[in-house]
Chains A and B, each alone.
Chain A
Amino acid sequence: MRAWLPLAAVLCLAASSAEAASLRIAEVVGSGGACHALRADAPAGEKAYFRLLGDRLGREILTCPVVDRAAAAQALATGRLDVALLDPAAYAPVQATTRAILTVRPAGHLNRIPLVVVTKASGPATNLASLRGKSLVFGGSAEAALAAPRQALADQGAGPGFFSREDVAADADAAAAGLRSGAADALVLNTAAWQRLCQGVRSQDNRCGDLKVVWRGRRRATLALVVRRDIPDELRFRLIGIHVAMHIEAPGTFAWASSWLPGGAEFEPTEAEALALAAR
């Protein structure tokens, strides 16, 4: 008995140290297995990515074979790995214990910018669902005014056919005028346009006191890197800090690491619920 105790102590120490010294990343390969170091025949881009993370985090990076994204989500939620690339369907069952941290911004397109849907303050609508069958006006035709809001609304179930009519105004001011005149029941803007619309020249000015926001959110991410919610902030911020600069510091590595969204320009941080439907 005596002989086993020091061994147990050593094993305990070794196991704990190994765990802390590694970062386990899910890899969907169609079958499950134990986490392991990259094999010699791994793709060059993957090797470079693991090397970059290992060097910058000061820990061993392990790949963890999983059957599919749903299995990756379960393994992540139960602590059998630390990072997984998930889609909304895989994320939904593990939403309580995991969170998104990074997605990819496509080249030539905007970040997942925040948006608002606005109605008259005196109107009956209290959320997006209550606008079904009503008319909507967009505040311009640029991506930030039209394509981005349209996608975000579709993510919320307010895609084609949800509104009785969709108009595109010349700009935010014209769209607000349409809402105020009754030509439209609701207005959708990105929050920068909303801020410009409502901001007066004095702090007490509120040019939108007659309007109210009934929905606020971002376009849902189609894919995102996900970690457990109990991950230390330090590690989460290190992962974000390394990834957001990767397209500059190591373009070839970025190309492999972001290959799940071809044509990516850069990694973009996300809010925790980037893969979930936003609250209405």
Chain B
Amino acid sequence: MRRWITGFALGCAVAVALAGCDRRPGGVASSDWRAGVKEVRFAVRGSEGDPTMATRWSVYQDYLSKAIGLPVKLYESSDYNGPIQALSSGQVDLATLAGGGYANVDAQVGGKVAPILTVRQAEGAMGYYSALLVRKDSPIHSLADMKGRSLGYVDFNSTSGYLYPRAKMRELGIEPDTFFGKTSFAGGHTQAVLALQNGQFDGAIIEVGGGDPVHGFTTGPQYTMARRGLLDVGAFRMVWVVGPIPNAVIVTRTDRPQPLIDIARGAMAALPYDRPDLWRDIGQPDGSAFTAVDRSFYAEVIRLRAADIAQRRSGSARGGKPS
């Protein structure tokens, strides 16, 4: 009898362990996908203009770890190429990228990486802008005035700081590789503004957002730096603005377990509703939310990236290429 009672108790204990006798759905049966997955690796770009971002990301990291039920490791990269290569080589599972970065990944590995979420702003917009910034006392008042002048781009893999404005210049009949006297990569948006401030360039191409050309902008490197007391935002002027550019994207490796992708997407999509405080803390505009996207949302950026690379390879450029 005691043997059977022990057996019964053991049977129920196993049942509880396997499925939960608390009548709640979920439980161990649905977590087999975790076998062999030790951690989730998430590549994010550091904000060179806002060092507190690292602390904020750590709170986000905790949120995702609890949601996914696995340790989430953040790989913070100071440059554009880090997350792109980490994702392409499969060293990370998830990443945040600008559209141009995703276009680069797409060109390298195609469907092995897919967009899952981007941000929809409160008023429904899903894009940001690229601006040509000059010093307030500059004689430059338009893109045309930049002919023969020095221009600072952000990075070859920057969408707003390189890819998109160059495509728009070509649409205006301006060949960006020959129009300017000299062009260089500053390495980041903040560095581009600092270099402009220091007189290294006559103009710098940077990202701006949180508004539009009619209502003005509230986000961008010069605003971030001004809020930290590093510069006076009134010391600069925007003389050319193009966009909107599709907002940055969260992408995933498609060869990862589908439950991992579903949970990550669900947890991130729920964040602005569950934790609006944390949503703001990670730098998202009030009232915005994630929305699901796929490759088609970035089709224009992918096309522009391919065209830019083809243009550069065709050898049409002269000395104006970024050095």
Name A's B-contacting residues (CB within 8 A). 1-2, 5-6, 8-10, 12-13, 15-17, 19-24, 56-59, 79, 82, 101, 110-111, 113-114, 142-144, 171, 190-196, 199-203, 205, 228, 230-242, 244-245, 247-248, 266, 268-272, 274
Interchain CB contact under 8 A, A195 and B270: no
Q: Which residues of A contact B15 (CB under 8 A)?
A: 12-13, 15-17
User: Any chain A CB within 8 A of the CB of B90?
Assistant: no
Q: Identify A5's interface contact among B4, B18, B288, CB under 8 A.
A: B4
**With the chains together, A202 CA to B228 CA distance in Å?**
6
Task: List chain A residues, Cβ under 8 A from B274.
Answer: 269, 271-272
Q: A21-B19, A201-B223 are in contact. Are A269 and B269 (CB under 8 A)?
A: yes
Checking B8, B24, B124 against A110 with a beta-carbon cut-off of 8 angstroms, the contacting residue is: B124
CB nearest neighbor in B for A202? B227
| B53 in the interface (beta carbon within 8 A) | no
Check B25–A82 contact: CB distance below 8 A: yes
Q: Is B187 an interface residue (CB 8 A)?
A: no
The minimal Cβ–Cβ distance linking B261 to chain A, given in whole angstroms, is 7
Q: Are A232 and B26 in contact (CB under 8 A)?
A: yes
CA distance in complex: A190, B215 (Å)? 15
Q: Is the CB of A239 within 8 A of B292?
A: no
How many A-B residue pairs have C-beta atoms within 8 angstroms? Tell me: 212
Inside 8 A of A201's CB, which chain B residues have their CB? 223, 226-227, 233-234
Give B81 Cβ to nearest chain A Cβ, in Å: 28
Counting CB contacts under 8 A, is B276 at the interface? yes
A-B contact pairs, 18 of them (CB 8 A): A12-B21, A13-B14, A16-B20, A19-B19, A111-B289, A113-B287, A142-B123, A143-B124, A195-B285, A195-B286, A230-B24, A231-B25, A233-B66, A234-B67, A236-B270, A241-B264, A244-B290, A245-B265
What is the interface residue range for chain B against chain A?
Answer: 35 or more
Name which of B27-35, B97-105, B130-138, B172-180 contacts chain A: B27-35
Q: Are B286 and A238 in contact (CB under 8 A)?
A: no
B169 CB-CB contact with A under 8 Å: no
Contact residues in B for A234 (Cβ distance below 8 Å): 26, 30-31, 67-69, 263
A34 to chain B, nearest CB (A): 15
Distance in Å: Cβ of B148 to nearest Cβ of chain A: 32
**Interface assignment of B259: CB less than 8 Å from any CB of chain A:** yes
